[in-house]
Amino acid sequence: MAKTSSIISPKRLQKGTLGKIDRLLGRLAPMMTIIMFVSTMFGQFLLPSFRALIRQYTRNLIRFLYPYIEIKFHEFIGEGFNLKRNEAFAAIQTYLSVNSTRRAKRLTAEVVKSSQDPLMLDLDDSEEITDEFKGVKLWWAANKMANNQKIDRRFYTLTFHKRYRDLVTASYIQRVMEEGRAIATRNRQLKLFTNNSSSGWFAYRMKGWSHVVFEHPATFETLAMEPSKKEEIMNDLVKFKKGKEYYAKIGKAWKRGYLLYGPPGTGKSSMIAAMANFLNYDVYDLELTSVKDNTELRKLLIETTGKSIIVIEDIDCSLDLTGQRTKTTGKVGDEKAKQDTSINKKDKPEENKSSHVTLSGLLNFIDGLWSACGGERIIVFTTNFVDKLDPALIRRGRMDKHIELSYCCYEAFKVLAKNYLGVESHELFPEIEKLLGETNMTPADVAENLMPKSTDEGVETCLNNLIQAIKVAKEEAKKKAEKEAKRKEEKEAKKKAKEEAEMKAEKEESQLEAEKKQEEVDQKEMKSNGKSAEDTKDDGLIH
């Protein structure tokens, strides 16, 4: 880190004095301008060769007396519609706000809602501070100039001795940029983007993403799950975040897909929030039912930025995925079949009419374009019914890591007890451990029961509340299982009775058939017997 010269050692004091002399010389700059002006004015009365000589000497004198280089960093670059904020200016501003403002006397302050540095200090106009890098002194000054449109444009001026040109341009500026960006990343406010801001006319006008500040308090520390599983996920995320070079080396887009599945209330959404806070990434909550078609989906994707998590919650409800891919044979015509399958969110029937996002569109979203538009993105799907999803959608490479969030185990309960009640052990814990081993209860339900409902409720009351709730849940589960078993039994019995009745009917029918056949045979026989008797009679008559 480049240090500011806040502690002045004797050696540095000497350097400081030199700096003052340097700066004094800096003040001579306007005088140099006057010398230049005078020499130009009177030069015209001199011989041309003499005039050139004087000019040369003047320049050398100026260079000798003012051996400094100045670099300006403007806040905005470009003009008109192409006007944009200079990234370098922003990085310098952040760097100076943290590293050098301790020495400045005139500052401006801005409140930034962030966990690390809520107050952002900046140099006031015309204020100067010194910085030091590898023993070299540099000066930063904040200035502003009014342009034609009467808009103040700010800029920073970096001044240093020409002797250090290479050091400053090759190392110092790069250092300032990197440090400024790193501080900005650490301090930045996370944003939650959504493509479903509102409905009606406003929504029509507001196509694309809109955002609010993301302030979800969930962290991996507060997330209730097995510690080993939690650690595995955190390690995976860290590896991804630091994997820029690795992904480049293996020729893979810098992205990773996570599938979170499990019953409602087991912490899927909480885990996404914890991931965002852990990685310091923005969240893009993609509501597929609000996306008109694949083209709009692609557009939304291109608008996402790096260092972000793109989330599609309840993917099984967002897209009708049941069996469409498995029906296809890979022929060209099948593509049309895929295209025809439009989204089908159960609870938003009116939106389905205008939404034509298809599975193939979604797959392209994950593989194709997605890979080509910058890195450091995580995509997360959540579902309550993993079996409903098309295998193509969740195969490795698309959804690299499948994470099951399940019912509350004892380890998860301990995290919740610590979060909600501040206790790490209690005499009631063994009973809770036993009960949780026998019953399925979601972390959401456990959390709800652990939460004190009034100021009078202490740890023991809350734990007893939970014990009661688990017992009730256990009883209900038992009743439900019995009911289910009875229903199954009845169904089996009905099925058996039906089968027996069918068999009986079949038997009766075949018996009837046989009897009928026998009757026919008998009748035929009788007929033939009757006919032969008559023939005999006739024969007798003839004779």
Ligand X SMILES: Nc1ncnc2c1ncn2[C@@H]1O[C@H](COP(=O)(O)OP(=O)(O)OP(=O)(O)O)[C@@H](O)[C@H]1O
Give residues 289-348 in contact with ligand X (rule: CB under 6 A): none
Q: CA-CA-CA-CA torsion for 244, 245, 251, 254, nearest 10 degrees? A: 0
Residue count of the chain: 543
Cβ-closest position to ligand X: 267
Q: CA-CA-CA-CA torsion for 346, 348, 349, 351, nearest 10 degrees? A: -130
223 binds, among Mg ion, ligand X, none (CB under 5 to 8 A by kind): ligand X
Please identify which residue in 93, 101, 130, 269 interacts with ligand X, judged by CB under 6 A.
269
* Residue whose tokens read 């200079």: 86
CB 465 within 8 A of CB 500: no
447 binds, among ligand X, Mg ion, none (CB under 5 to 8 A by kind): ligand X
Which is nearer to ligand X, 187 or 266 (by Cβ)?
A: 266
Q: How many residues bind ligand X (CB under 6 A)?
A: 16
CA distance 276 to 220: 10
CB 102 within 8 A of CB 129: no
Residue 269 in contact with Mg ion, rule: CB under 5 A? yes
Residue 225 in contact with ligand X, rule: CB under 6 A? yes
Which of 97, 101, 73 has its CA nearest to residue 87? Answer: 73
CA distance 393 to 338: 13
Amino acid in position 340: D
Please identify which residue in 91, 98, 223, 312 interacts with ligand X, judged by CB under 6 A.
223
Give residues 403-422 in contact with ligand X (rule: CB under 6 A): 405
CB 338 within 8 A of CB 406: no
Q: What are phi and psi of 453, to 5 degrees?
A: -95, -10
Q: How many residues bind Mg ion (CB under 5 A)?
A: 2
Give residues 187-216 in contact with ligand X (rule: CB under 6 A): none
446 binds, among Mg ion, ligand X, none (CB under 5 to 8 A by kind): none
State the nearest-atom distance from the C-beta of 219 to ligand X, in Å. Answer: 10
Give residues 14-73 in contact with ligand X (rule: CB under 6 A): none
Which is nearer to ligand X, 138 or 237 (by Cβ)?
A: 237
Residue 266 in contact with Mg ion, rule: CB under 5 A? no
Which is nearer to ligand X, 222 or 304 (by Cβ)?
A: 222
Find the part of the chain contacting Mg ion (CB under 5 A) among 93-101, 261-269, 446-454, 502-510: 261-269
Which is nearer to Mg ion, 222 or 269 (by Cβ)?
A: 269
3-state helix, strand, coil in the chain (%, to 5): 55, 15, 30
358 binds, among Mg ion, ligand X, none (CB under 5 to 8 A by kind): none
- Within 13 Å and on the Cβ side, how many CA atoms surround 74? 12
Q: 171: which 2 tokens? A: 């190392």
Residue 265 in contact with ligand X, rule: CB under 6 A? yes
State the nearest-atom distance from the C-beta of 301 to ligand X, in Å. Answer: 23
Contacts of 29 (CB under 8 A, 6+ apart): 66
CA distance 508 to 521: 20
Please identify which residue in 270, 277, 308, 318 interacts with ligand X, judged by CB under 6 A.
270
Residue 464 in contact with ligand X, rule: CB under 6 A? no
Which is nearer to Mg ion, 159 or 266 (by Cβ)?
A: 266
CB 289 within 8 A of CB 352: yes
Residues that bind ligand X (CB under 6 A): 222-225, 264-270, 384, 405, 443-444, 447
Residues that bind Mg ion (CB under 5 A): 268-269
